Structure 1
Amino acid sequence: MKSRSPLVNRIAIVVCAVVLTSIVSMATTLAVSKSIEGNATAINMAGALRMGAFQLLAHAASPGNNHTGEDNIRGLAAKYESSLTNSAITRTIPDTADHPLAKQYRAIKANWEQTLRPGLESHPQGAPISAGMLAATETYVDSVNQLVSMLERRTEARIGLLHLIQIISLAFSILIIVALFVDLRNRVLKPLRKLVNIAGAVGEQDFSQKANLKGSDELAQLGSAFDQMSSELALTYYELEERARSKTEELETSHAALQLLHTASRSLFANHDLCSGAVPMLRELEQLLGIGPIRLYLHDKQLADPVQVVTTASVERPFYCRDHHCNACLVTPELYDELPIEDEDGRRLLLPIRTPGKLLGTLEVWYPADKGLSDTARRLLETLSDQLATAIFLEQQITEEQQLTLAEERTVIARELHDSLAQSLSYLKMQVARMRRLNIEGDKKNAHNAILDELSTGLNSAYRQLRELLATFRLKLDTPDLTTALSKTTEEFSERLGKPIQLTYNLPPQALSPNEEIHTLQIVREALANAVKHADATEISVDVVFESPQVHAKIRDNGKGLPNGGQPVNHYGLIIMHDRARTLGGQVVVQDRDEGGVEVVLTFVPKSRHLIPADAANT
């Protein structure tokens, strides 16, 4: 069975003390009152014994019949003795033999039995009272007075004892009550007041107050529980407050990021340059979410590895950069070394850039491993990848539509040329053939033949140029870049040459507009046609490379070189090549190589050439 707690024990002890005090007080009061019970009767009867003794003496001295007087004295004496030995008196006499009251009562009884009674019984009726008899009676009465006095003192002492017991009980009860109040004040009221104050402070979100109650009673245990509860509530409140603050900051960050994504989405769709449209937005997103660097890779079915087209942090200018005044992605080596990349305990998140049924690229996001990436940040990055996918897909669609439109226009032009100019040239060739059949004699024959030869040469050259132009106009690009078209072109001229033509290509995806791709391809085809037909070359190479911000297309052969070391006059193919280069904002240089052969070099700045100063474009 579980024992009672200290507070209950103290209250039980106090109650027991009060009850015990009351019981003791009542018991002693009852015992004292019992001990003095009948004392008043005994005192009265003892006092009557004094008067009775003198009455007996007076009766003995009065005259009367002897026999009657004798019988009267004896009867009165017996009656007096019965009063002396009455239980009302003997009950007040202690049983202890050496008690003063017992001694005094025995002395009175002995004096009565031995002196006074025999003297009264032997005294003649009516005879005067002798002095001895009177003295004996007075001695007896003095003894009775002493007994009465002793009874009175004893009764008064018992009453005084009763008063003393009552006073002691009252004082003890008061002390117990005072001690109880003090104990209650120190151990109950004050702790309860502290606990109430703590409860009020907790209600006002003040967890600093502590009870600090000592002891092992219920209130001390309750105070310890309150202190522990207050500490736990404080910790919980601070944790909840911190979580609320963190969630608020996260929501604010998310809201700011959503606003940034909303603003950036318009920039992505309005700006046809992915780098300049995405990098500022990605940098702001990195600062908001505490992540970075972020890199964007595009996939190309013609290439084995993805091609990086956007980065937010780079020590050197990326090779695909077109704007040499833009430093958005350039950082110092010290800052780059502090970024959470693979060597700096960073973690990488790869998000696909996809549309339904097509993977366009990959978004690579680096973030600190110790902080991790929140679900909100992950969802925002997924939203960003969807926006990038839409922007890239639309850009590719626009590019393909431009290519298709341009191809359709060129097909229409080619058809018109074939139906008009090609037929006219064929008709002129037939007329020249008819004129050759005419028999012209005399001095005019040589001049006539010379003119016909010139006409035939010009018509053949024009017809050949027209066929090349028609072949070029009918050429279609099946991909957003030049890779496939250049591969097919080199394969076509490799068959004409009888040997493979080496192709080197490293342009970034979407580096050129559809118009720039068509013009570049036509210049390469014209240069290859010249090398195959006129140079008597055995080796030909084509290099189309991107050296930011310029595109270089180089066609080299090991043929016989240019006639007389210079460019042929009135060569329609070269004239068209120069016109196309000027359309691209660049130039074509045709020159002999030191090791033999001819080198055709096309140089131009694609798309954003207006952002590059002229001196930078020519470097």
Structure 2
Amino acid sequence: MQATRSLSQKLIRTGTALLVVALMSIGLTLWVTWQLEGGAAAVNEAGRMRMQTWRLSSTVMSGAPAVEVLNLVSNFDSSLDLLRAGDPSRPLFVPWDDNTRAQFDKVEALWKVQRGQWLQESAVGGAESLQIAATLVEAIDRFVLTIEQQMSRFTAILNLFQFVMMALAIGAAVVMLFTGYLYVINPLAHLREGLRKVESGDFATRVEVEGQDEFSQVAAGFNGMAQRLQQMYEGLEAQVEAKTRHIEAQRSRIEALYEVSAFLARADSIEELSKGFAQRVRGVMKADAVAVRWSDEANQRYLMLASDCFPQDMMEEERSLLAGACACGNLRPDATTRVIPIHAHAAAPMRHCAKAGYESLVSVPIRLQQRLIGEVDLFFRSPVSLRPDEVELLDALASHLASALEGLRAAALEREAAVGEERALLARELHDSIAQSLEFLKIQVQLLRTATHK
């Protein structure tokens, strides 16, 4: 699999390619300009040679001293040497090609022939001098023409490269814009759209990851962040939901405790108290039937105080239940609230419950100051399991029931004690009244006896 270049590598490669093309264009333009400047200087020097030719002809025709003619010939020789060798410092150089080289060779060959003629001691005639000068100037003109043709080609090349550079500048701008859009603007737009969706609460948003460049790494990081936010949000929702359920369960327990406590506080009799308690516990626990049993002092027999939705035949059979005769009423001193599965078989402890269709029994011991005084039995027609908060609720309800029953018993004992005290008071008053009456009768008898003796 081909490795994906990073964004910096892509931008560096693109910029380097454009820079190389620009440098090549600039270098070529400078080279063409250098050729044009050197050619222009060469044309200028060739023009000086024409001027020197006509000046030499004029000097010879005027009969000037030989030294002056020699100086002019030396100047012409220097111009030829300068054109042949060039001068980079000016710059000056001939754009050589075959045609230019051939024309320069003709000028140089013609000058070698005419140079001796100009240096002869016998002066050249006027007409001949003009003819020689015209021949050399014509050769120089052809040489200049070849240089100008070369310069024309270089000028055309320069114009072409200027057009190419303009096209390259436009192309480079387009390439940079496209590269910026492809590698920078478009990924940023996708990231911005993803951020907008995440800000609106859509944590399932993901950004497409293409390649392994910097923006792809940022997109992968964004996707990881969005996934973690989604997990945290879902976890938070689950926690809030669980907390809400817990609070609702606590509220229901508190409400049930308050309702049962309020009922137990205003109940006037054991029958009313136990019956109402059975109804309310069945509603709170969604049980199919409830039975409230009270044990004797020795915990050998359990008496059914009240029931709710309990089958009539079972209620008649279990109204007074011996300890151990059934799963109900079989509590040890350290018994706790527990779930007893009811199996469909004919065993004595379970046959009545199984016959009635019950599958689970919840036994809740009733204690008063660590003393076992009874139990609450909840019957279910399906398998059940109790949560710790439900066990705690049942234990609290059973404790409230025990306190309420003990309160009713204490109130009954208090009323009985008050009646006893009232009876004792009446007996004392009656005793005193009878004693007084007897004492009075005794006095009357003594008086009668005394009266009889007299």
Do the two structures share a fold, i.e. TM-score over 0.5? yes
Amino acid at match of 1:16: T
Match of 1:182 in 2: 178
Q: Does the 8 Å CA contact 2:61/2:125 hold for their aligned counterparts?
A: yes
**What amino acid is the match of 1:51?**
M
How many residue pairs match? The answer is 392
Name the structure 1 match of 2:285: 286
Identical-pair percentage: 23
- Which residue is 1:57 aligned to? 57
Is 1:247 aligned to residue 243 of structure 2? yes
| 1:137-216 equivalent positions in 2, closer than 5 A | 137-216=133-212
Assess, with a 3 A threshold, how the Cα gap between structure 1 residues 319 and 51 changes in structure 2: closer, same or farther. Answer: same
The structure richer in helix per residue is 2
Aligned to 1:353: 366
Contact 2:107 2:139 in 1 (8 A): yes
What is aligned with 2:326?
none
1:349 & 1:60 partners in 2: Cα distance? 148
Query: Matched residue of 1:129: which SS?
Result: helix
SS at match of 2:366: strand
Whole-Å Cα distance in 1 between the matches of residues 140 and 263 of structure 2?
136
Q: Following TM superposition, by how much is the alpha carbon of 1:404 offset from its aligned partner in structure 2, in angstroms?
A: 6.2
By how many angstroms is 1:303 displaced? 3.3
Q: What per-residue deviation string (whole Å, max 9, x for no partner) do you get for residues 367-424 of structure 1?
A: 9999965555454444323322322332343455566667888999999999999xxx
- Whether the 8 Å CA contact 1:5–1:218 is kept in 2: the answer is no
Distance 2:78 2:13 in 1: 54
2:125 counterpart of 1:127: yes
Q: Work out the CA distance in 2 between the residues paired with 1:366 and 1:42.
A: 124
> Rg bigger for which structure?
1
The CA distance in 2 between the partners of 1:119 and 1:417, in whole Å, is: 193
Residue 151 of structure 1 deviates from its aligned partner by 2.7
Contact 1:57–1:129 (8 Å) recurs in 2? no
The 1:392–1:32 alpha-carbon spacing in structure 2 relative to 1, beyond 3 Å, is: farther
Give the partner amino acid of 1:384: L
Tell me the CA shift for residue 366 of structure 1: 8.1
Gaps of 5+ in 2: 320-338, 344-357, 435-454
Aligned to 2:407: 394
- 1: CA distance, partners of 2:233 / 2:315: 54
Residues 257-268 of structure 1: matches in 2 within 5 Å?
257-268=253-264
Question: What residue is the counterpart of 1:16 in the other structure?
Answer: 16
CA 1:244–1:142: 2 relative to 1, 3 Å: same
- Cα deviation, residue 279, structure 1: 2.4
Shift of 1:44: 0.8
Residue number in structure 1 paired with 2:100: 101
Q: Deviations over 1:503-527 (max 9, x none)?
A: xxxxxxxxxxxxxxxxxxxxxxxxx
Q: Give the CA deviation at 1:46.
A: 0.7
- The alignment yields a C-alpha RMSD, in angstroms, of 4.6
**Within-5 A mapping of 1:252-401:** 252-271=248-267, 272=269, 273=271, 274-287=273-286, 296=292, 298-304=294-300, 314-315=310-311, 318-319=314-315, 342=341, 352-363=365-376, 376-398=389-411, 401=414
Residue 325 (structure 2) aligns with: none
Instruction: Provide the secondary structure at the position in 1 that maps to 2:186.
Output: helix
Structure 1 residue 34: Cα displacement: 4.1
Query: More deviation in 269-278 or 47-56?
Result: 269-278
1: CA distance, partners of 2:184 / 2:76: 70
Paired letter, 2:43:
I
Higher relative contact order (CA 8 A, sep 6+): 2
- Is the contact between residue 292 and residue 377 of structure 2 (CA under 8 Å) also seen in structure 1? yes
Contact 1:353 1:362 in 2 (8 A): yes
How far apart in 2 are the matches of 1:189 and 1:366?
70
Conserved 8 A contact 1:45-1:89? no
Task: Name which of structure 1's ranges 405-414 and 153-162 shifts more when overlaid on structure 2.
Answer: 405-414
> 3-state SS of the aligned residue for 2:408?
helix
What residue identity is the alignment partner of 1:198? G
Over 3 Å counting, the alpha-carbon distance change for 1:223 and 1:72 in structure 2 is closer
- Where 1:319 maps in the other structure, the secondary structure is helix
SS class of match (1:205): coil
TM-score by length of 2: 0.68
Determine the C-alpha separation between the residues in 2 that align with 1:409 and 1:43: 157
Displacement of 1:319: 1.8
Partner of 2:40: 40
- The residue that corresponds to 1:118 in the other structure is 116
Please tell me whether the aligned partners of residues 60 and 120 of structure 1 are also in contact (alpha carbons under 8 angstroms): yes
Q: Return the alpha-carbon distance in structure 2 between the equivalents of residues 149 and 370 of structure 1.
A: 118
Q: CA deviation at 1:182?
A: 2.0
Aligned counterpart, 2:330: none
Equivalents in 2 of 1:409, 1:302: separation in Å? 33
Q: TM-score, normalised by structure 1?
A: 0.52
Aligned-pair distance for 1:217?
A: 2.3
SS at match of 2:299: coil
Q: 2:74 aligns with which of 64, 74, 78?
A: 78
